[in-house]
Structure formats: C-alpha cells, structure tokens
Amino acid sequence: MKRLLLLSSEFPPGPGGIGTHAHQLALHLTQLGWDVQVLTSQDYMTSKEIMIFNEAQKFKIIPLPRTHHRLRDLLRRWTHLLEMIRNWKPDILVVTGDRQVWLAAVMQFFIRLKLPWCAVWHGVVPPFFPARQLGVWAFHQADLIISVSQYSLEQLLNMGVQPRRQLVIENGADQDQYHPDPEAGRDFLKDLNLTDAKILLTVGHVSERKGQDIVIRALPEIIKSIPNVHYLMVGLPTMQDRLAELACELDVSAYVHFMGRLDIKMLNAAYNACDVFVLTSRHGNNGEFEGYGIVAVESALCAKPAVVAGNSGLAEAIVDGQTGFVIPENDSHAAAQAIQKLLMDPALKKKMGENARQRALREQTWSICMSRYDQALRQLEMTG
C-alpha cells in the first residue's frame, strides 16, 4: 500500500473550502487504497469537536494548533513535516494551501528529500512583490501542480509560474450529503416563519470577498417586483454588523437574515429551502479570489439554479444560461436582474435547477473528482 502524506492549511470539522477539499482528498484516496496521513491545522472549533471528528476518520490526522506566534507555528510545522517524512517515509507528498506550498518547497530545496510532491492550487495571487515571487518560486519546485479550475490555472501562469507538470481537476461535492429534500426545506422555512417567501441563499464566510453586500444592495430593486423575497446568509458572521448596517441604510433589514454556521443536515435543508443560490464573490485586496466554488455544486445537487460572479472559477462551477447565470463582478444591478429573471419565471427556475443537478451528478461529485486525483498521483509516484 502506497503512503501519502497530506499537508493542508486547514481541515474540518471547521469551515473552509480548502479544508473541505483536503478532507475529501484524504477520504477518497483512503478508499482507493492509499495509506493516508494528514498534517494540518483545525480552526474555529473546540478541542472536543476536533477530537470527535478525528477519531471518526479512517485515516490518521496530526493536528497542528495555531498560536499567536507565526515563527513558532512555522518551526512546529517544519519539525513535524520533517519528522513524518523521515520516520513514516511516505511515497508521495500532497500540499494544499499556499503557505504550506512555500514550506514544502523550502524544505525540499534545503533538505533535498527525494520525495515526489504535488501542490494543489486554489487561488491567491499575493499583492506584494516579495510574497508573489516566493509563490512563483515555490510552485515551480512542485513536481505536479493541480489547479481547481482553468481560471485559477490562468492566474498562476500569469504570475509567472512555469509548472513542470500541470493539470486541472475541478472541485466537487457530496451527493449523499446534499440532495433534494423538499420536506426538509419546508420545515426550515417554517421555523423561520418564511413559509410563503422567495428565498435567496449564500453559503460562505460573511466577508468582503464573498460579496454578500452586493446581494443586499440588489434587494431594493428586487423587492419592487418580488416583495416577498428574503436573503439568507450561512457562514461565519465576521461582517454581520457592517452588513446589518448596510441593510438598515437601504431599508431592507426585514429581508436580511444571518444564519451563522449550520451543520450538514441543516445546510442541506437550507439549500432545499432556497429558490436561487447566489454567490457574488469578488477579488480580495489580499489577492484571494474564488478558485471554483464548492457550495455552488452543493446547491446544484439540491436542484437549485445559481447566480454567480464572473472573473473567477465560479463561472466554471455553473453553465451560464443553462444551470444559472454568470454576472459581472461587483454589479448589484446585474445581480438583481438575474435573480428577478429566475424568480419571475418558475418554469425557467425549475428547468435550470434540474439541469444543475444532472450536470453535478454527471461531472461534479467528489468521487468523480478524486478518481482523477488518484490516477494523477499514482502516475506521479511511479515517474517521480
């Protein structure tokens, strides 16, 4: 059995797309015959929640608690990674999260470990020259770069990275966890006293980059034609106070709801409760952008059409005009128009939702995605 060491910047049970991807990678590769161990941080959750989660996995997780000292954290990661490589002797290393790629590249350069490694590229273009150049150098050291979307790969190439080998494997979602369940959706709305409402839903960190403010700015225009529309935001409510203030300024506070984090069962209910899934992410000042958008696939598995922002990997998560609409980045008017088009045409909304589910089942499940990782990593392990 081949040994695979996965070094990740984040991991469940806490939220985060990179962590979700890393967990699915470990889970499916274990099922496909790899002996997997994971070295990772696990944030936003209690020690008990992390322990319960880790004990339930079929692979070993070595958690790395963060401190307020970056240098101490870096040294701890260096030490653990080096010890695992020397003592456990993995056949291949997979690294996900930009700073972890930097660490792996520096270690490979200085220690000269003869270990093939793959860097997974999600999408952060550092805004400052030194960090950008370090990123270019680090990704160039990888034996294989796997990008989560064609858009993300283009951004990497535009940075100046010249991959030794490159591959695009788009993200997926879990069809067992996310699926049509109209009754759960109705119960979800009943508990919120929104049984007769038209529901817009965004899932993701409530933050500047995820662009929930764009949907809030679109609400006054939407309400003119659809007065019973309500907007639900699921995710860490970091910017809740600022967005609540914006909603108040626009006189739409009664239509805006911050749901916080939800477990998988309740999240599936939220997807089923919504009429349209909306994710209007933008490029962040720190260089982050939406590499793909796992949540868009989760909503598709629940047969929901999506309205997403372009100039990102989100445009590949849906098919514009067939499973939803792609709108320009930072355009609240375009968001309002696309949402109104779907809400005012039930037949179109239903057709696009069905198209979204069929495409997701055909192309976008984790099992399909990770079978491609399995093939790529086995080939890398054999050829070095």
What is the count of structural domains for the chain? 2
> Does 262 fall in a domain?
yes
| Residues 38 and 81 occupy one common structural domain | yes
> Is residue 47 domain-resident?
yes
154, 188: one domain: no
pTM of structure: 0.93
Indicate if 37 and 166 belong to the same structural domain: yes
Enclosing domain of residue 160:
3-172+365-383
* 99 and 214 share one domain: no
| DSSP tag of 75 | H
Same domain, 164 and 219: no
> For residues 215, 217, 223 and 224, what is the CA-based torsion angle, rounded to 10 degrees?
-140
Residues 108 and 232 placed together within one structural domain of the fold: no
Q: What is the DSSP string of 229-263?
A: EEEEEES--TTHHHHHHHHHHTT-GGGEEEEE---
Q: Is the residue at 337 inside a domain?
A: yes
Residue 74: pLDDT band by 50, 70, 90 thresholds? confident
CA–CA separation, 269 and 277 (whole Å): 13
The predicted structure's pLDDT at residue 109: 86
Task: Report yes or no on 36 lying in a domain.
Answer: yes
Whether residue 177 is contained in a domain is answered as no
Measured in degrees and rounded to the nearest 5, phi and psi for residue 89 equal 55, 65
Is there a single domain that holds both residue 207 and residue 341? yes
The answer to whether residues 94 and 215 belong to one domain is no
Q: Which residues contact 282 (CB under 8 A, 6 or more apart)?
A: 208, 209, 211, 214, 289, 309, 329, 330
pLDDT tens digits along 96-153: 999 899 999 999 888 877 899 999 999 888 878 788 899 999 999 999 999 999 999 9
Dihedral of alpha carbons 88, 135, 42, 16, sign: negative
Residue 193 CB neighbour total at 10 angstroms: 8
Taking only the tens place, the pLDDT of each residue in 342-356 is 999 999 999 999 999
Identify whether residues 258 and 341 lie together within a single domain: yes
Q: What is the pLDDT of residue 3?
A: 97
Q: Per residue in 290-299, pLDDT tens? A: 999 999 999 9
My answer on whether 134 and 229 are in the same domain is: no
- C-alpha distances (whole Å) from 156 to each of 7, 98, 168, 270 are 20, 12, 12, 34
Same domain, 155 and 288: no
Shared-domain flag, residues 200 and 91: no
Which of 161, 121, 69, 73 has the alpha carbon at shortest distance from 289? 121
What CATH number does residue 31 fall under?
3.40.50.2000
Nearest to 315 by CA among 302, 329, 332: 329
Q: Is the pLDDT of residue 384 over 70?
A: no
